[in-house]
Amino acid sequence: MFNVKDMKEIQDIFKTSDVGEIEIETPEGRLRMVMGGKPAPVKAAPAAAPAAPAQDNTGGAPAKDSPDSVYELRSKWVGFFTRLNTKTGEYYIKLRDTVKKGDIVAHVRVLGIMQDVIADVEGKVKEILIEEGQPIEYGQPIMRFEK
C-alpha cells in the first residue's frame, strides 16, 4: 500500500503548504491524513473583498479578468507540480504555446505517481502560475489560457 517514503512525501506537503487535511486514493488503497488532529480552519476573506465564485469539479474555470476569452486551469490533486516531460527532458508547454483540448500540459506528483494535468480547452498559454517543483493544492490555479 503506502510505504515510509510515501508518508514522508505527504509530510513534506503538510509542512510546505497550508494543507491541513489530505485524502488519497490509489489502486492499492485509500489514505486519509489530518495534520494536527483536525481539519485546517477556513480562512475568512477580508470584509472589502468580493466573494469568490464557486469552483466546479472540472478542474478549471473562466479566469476573473476576462471570463469569455481567458480560461484558468486548476489542479485536481495535492502534490508537487512539474511541467517537465521525463521522456524528452523538455517542458510539455511554454508561455505562448498553443494547446489543444486533451493535451498533457504538466504533471502533479502524488505519492511518487505522476498524474497528468490535461488541458480542458484549446488555446494559447497566457500565464503559468506555479513554479517547477512547488507544492500544489486541490483547486489551486495552475495556468491561464487565451481561448
pLDDT digits (tens, 9 = 90+) for 6-49: 777 777 776 676 666 677 766 666 666 666 544 444 444 444 44
Domains of the chain: 4-37 (no CATH), 60-146 (2.40.50.100)
C-alpha cell recorded at residue 31: 489514505
* R_g of the chain, CA atoms, integer Å: 16
C-alpha cell recorded at residue 111: 505519492
pLDDT digits (tens, 9 = 90+) for 59-115: 555 555 555 789 999 999 999 999 998 889 999 999 999 999 999 999 999 988 999
Residue 88's identity, in one-letter code, is: T
Start-to-end C-alpha separation, the chain: 41
Q: Is the pTM of this model over 0.85?
A: no
Q: To which residue does cell 517537465 refer?
A: 84
